[in-house]
Structure 1
């Protein structure tokens, strides 16, 4: 069965991660078959300064005013 790697910005609660792990596991079992015990979900909390999109750090995007 699969190992799912979930990368997200830090700040999510254990309850949010618990709920997401449950939903992802249920979806894998429903679509792929097998048992829930065979699904691994790994969470990687990322700081905004460690992630860039379009050449811009997410920590910098929060500081940039949005265009009107």
Structure 2
């Protein structure tokens, strides 16, 4: 049972998330031949203050004072 986990910054529409789930599912089916009903997708959305690279959060990076 393939499991795909993806973490994104908050802000996508429900339709964008639905499309992402469908596209990821289809990619797994094509890539490894898994039955579609066996593919699991977990989408985690995090606030910009909870996602950082190089000790700088996305919120800080986007801030005019960052």
TM-score above 0.5: yes
The structure number with the bigger radius of gyration is: 1
- 1:3 is the counterpart of 2:3: yes
- 1:18 is the counterpart of 2:6: no
Query: C-alpha deviations, 1:6-62, integer Å up to 9, x for none?
Result: 100101111001111111111101110121111111111100000110111111000
RMSD: 1.2
Q: Which runs of 4+ in 1 moved over 2 A?
A: none
| Count of residue correspondences | 65
1:48 is matched with 48
> Where in structure 2 are there 5+ consecutive unaligned residues?
none
Q: TM-score, normalized by length of structure 2?
A: 0.90
Q: TM-score, normalized by length of structure 1?
A: 0.87
